[in-house]
Amino acid sequence: MITQRASGILLHITSLPSKYGIGDLGPEAYKFADFLSKAKQSYWQVLPLGPTSAKNGYSPYDCLSAFAGNTLFISPELLYEQGLLTRTDIQDRPLFPESHVDYRLAISHKTNLLKIAYDRFRCRPRSCDYEQFCFENKLWLDDFAMFVALRYRFHPRLWCNWPIELRDKKKHALTPMKAQLRDSIDREKVLQYLFFKQWYSLRSYCNQLDIRIIGDIPIYVAYDSADVWAHPEIFKLTKTKTPKFIGGVPPDRFSRTGQLWGNPVYDWQALKDKGYSWWIRRVKHNLVLFDIARIDHFRGFIAYWQVPGRSKTAKKGKWVKGPSEDFFDKLLEHCPPLSIIVEDLGYITPDVSASIAKFQLPSMKVLEFAFEGDPKTNTHCLHNHVKNCVVYTGTHDNNTARGWFRKEATPSQKNRLFEYLGRKVLTGQVHWALIRIAMSSVAKIAIIPMQDVLGLVEQARMNKPGTAIGNWSWRLCPRQLTLSTVRKLAKLTEIYGRV
């Protein structure tokens, strides 16, 4: 809950150090929490935790489920402590790259380890804890486990090309398939249990250190997901269950042809008729996972860019009115507004700003956007910040601070930055200049991407919107967390009253 002036770090789980090719919820996650505490940070922001796929470039914003966890984040070392893996299991591993995720290699190795852990788990008596997890999460877990099991059975076909009775989730077809796929279904449930058990343990540790976790809720879900298969009535689909329309944004600063996300758009009237129950459950679920949830692409609730389903770019879309304030009136009856941050970047119209103001929702300011346009109206400029906002040097969609300065900032933007600072700044120090500006803001929360704390260049960028490959792979190396970095970050946090 946002109640006082503080700061934190943005680092996704995939970016943590690990011996197993991809960041996970094991010892290095706890060491990172210790680093945050020593550096006097109060927040750890992560990206969505859902299961990703190669088809979508492993994007955490295009998951197989809006509720499930990414089982690649399960720590083999913690499974060893539970007796589900042996020392030989966890020591016999490939040579993984340290600075980035090789998804194919990491998935191959971890899939084998998780199969071993599951086989050992099912040989044990079923615990009350596991049974309780399955009962409490039944509304999404049963559909997700069945969807994943069917997805493996019919690979590489999309679910819209499965046998019609299974595509349409007919009970008479699902019942015999459940018997056939029983082991696969059980495995998915067990792995979800192990993921959430490890996640809640890490969150509890962070909370004990007075660190709160900020999570992320993408506005859309992937077409190839358990949610669309299980709830086709709340999406705009054709009679054959393919997307009639898909989401995206029109041409903007990131792309001349716009961003075509490929996600099916919601049938908001159908959602309204059901009291927005699916969305309310989704947000409540995330507020159990996290202390604060950031809702991505807030403007899509006011009006969203709808593109015909077979389009190759987002150019030929149109704006369609969303549920607007009616949705948030219902949502905030169940979820406290102080537990929500809204992402209000991009093309923001007065009605979007009015809704944010009405519900007093904290919005976002990004310093990489602060040195352009009219300083009187550019809300990213430091002098236009308000207390009820979160300021970032950059987000997961931005270049790193040094990368921006080296490759993207115009001479005019650099001059505006120099004028603000009252001096020129070297490329190698621009990240600390932006961090200092963020810390000095009146915004209640300042969030700094870990790449900016380390002063990394464009190769460490997390995502480049509009591109399909080479994203979501940067990783932190353990030796980069130095004592001097801890001291410098802690000092700035103290100076600007964010401890």
216 assigned to active site: no
Measured between alpha carbons, how far is 219 from 271 in angstroms, rounded to an integer?
A: 14
Please state, in angstroms and as integers, the Cα–Cα distance from residue 373 to each residue in 348, 369, 370, 459, 465, following that order: 15, 9, 8, 27, 22
Candidate list 224, 296, 344, 368, residue with the active-site label = 296
Measured between alpha carbons, how far is 328 from 276 in angstroms, rounded to an integer?
A: 10
Other beta carbons within 10 Å of 309: 17
Give the pairing type, strands 6-10 and 445-449. Answer: parallel
Measured between alpha carbons, how far is 203 from 438 in angstroms, rounded to an integer?
A: 26
Q: Could you tell me how many residues make up the chain?
A: 499
291 assigned to active site: no
296 assigned to active site: yes
CA atoms within 13 A on the CB side of 423: 6
Candidate list 343, 344, 368, 452, residue with the active-site label = 343
Other beta carbons within 10 Å of 277: 13
The residues assigned a catalytic role are 296, 343, 397
